[in-house]
Amino acid sequence: MDSGDSPSDGDLLDRIARRDATAFALLYARYSRVAYALAYRILAETVETEEVVQDAFLSVWLHPLTHESIRHTARSWLLAVVRHRARLPTPPHPARLSAALLGRRAPATQQCRHV
């Protein structure tokens, strides 16, 4: 598919607002790497970075905006969400908290990934 066939960010946001999972997947594919890079620059920790990015995209799905309701581009809006979430104090996940109290890192199978 060439860029002429690719839907615009605004079109994707409008489709996400109508609960189009394919549009959400396209937006994720388009911006997940840059969102991860930004969150990692702020947090410098892999698990928290993954959670922040996942939370930001979940927010896009649960509270969709149309392209007309954001002031700038979808990219800048999404990265602002990531930046904001990365700077919020995050409550420790129970598995990580338990592991921290025991003085060890939680096994990967116990680390939560919010969906």
Reported as a single tens digit per residue, the pLDDT across 83-115 is 999 998 765 555 544 454 555 544 444 444 444
Res 109: pLDDT: 43
CATH 1.10.1740.10 fits 9-90, yes or no: yes
If you count them, how many residues does the chain have? Answer: 115
pLDDT digits (tens, 9 = 90+) for 48-58: 999 999 989 99
CA 8, CA 108: separation in Å to the nearest integer? 37
Can you give the pTM of this predicted structure? 0.70
Q: Where are the domains of the chain?
A: 9-90
pLDDT at 80 over 70: yes
Res 68: pLDDT: 66
